[in-house]
Amino acid sequence: IGSGSAKWALMAPIFVPMFALLGYHPAWTQFLYRMGDSSTNIISPLFTYFPIILAYMNEYDEEAGVGTLLSLMIPYSLVILLAWVLLGFIWFFIGLPLGPGGQIFL
pLDDT tens digits for range 46-55: 888 889 999 9
Does the residue 44 lie in any domain? yes
| C-alpha pair distances (Å), 78 with each of 11, 42, 52, 83 | 23, 10, 22, 9
Domain-located, residue 85 = yes
Residue 25 in this model has a pLDDT that exceeds 90: yes
Answer yes or no: are the C-beta atoms of 31 and 106 closer than 8 Å.
Answer: no
* pLDDT tens sequence across 3-20: 778 889 999 999 999 999
- 104 inside domain: no
Longest dimension (CA), the chain: 54
Q: What residues does 105 pair with on adjacent strands?
A: 24
The torsion angles phi and psi of 7, rounded to 5 degrees, stand at -65, -40
Residue 55 lies in domain: 4-94
Residue 103 lies in a domain: no
Residue 41 is assigned to a structural domain of this protein: yes
Residue 88, in any domain of the structure? yes
- Is this model's pTM higher than 0.85 or not? no
Residue 102 lies in a domain: no
Domain total in the chain: 1
Residue 87 lies in a domain: yes
Compute the distance between CA of residue 22 and CA of residue 4 in angstroms, rounded to an integer.
24
pLDDT > 70: what percent of the chain?
A: 98
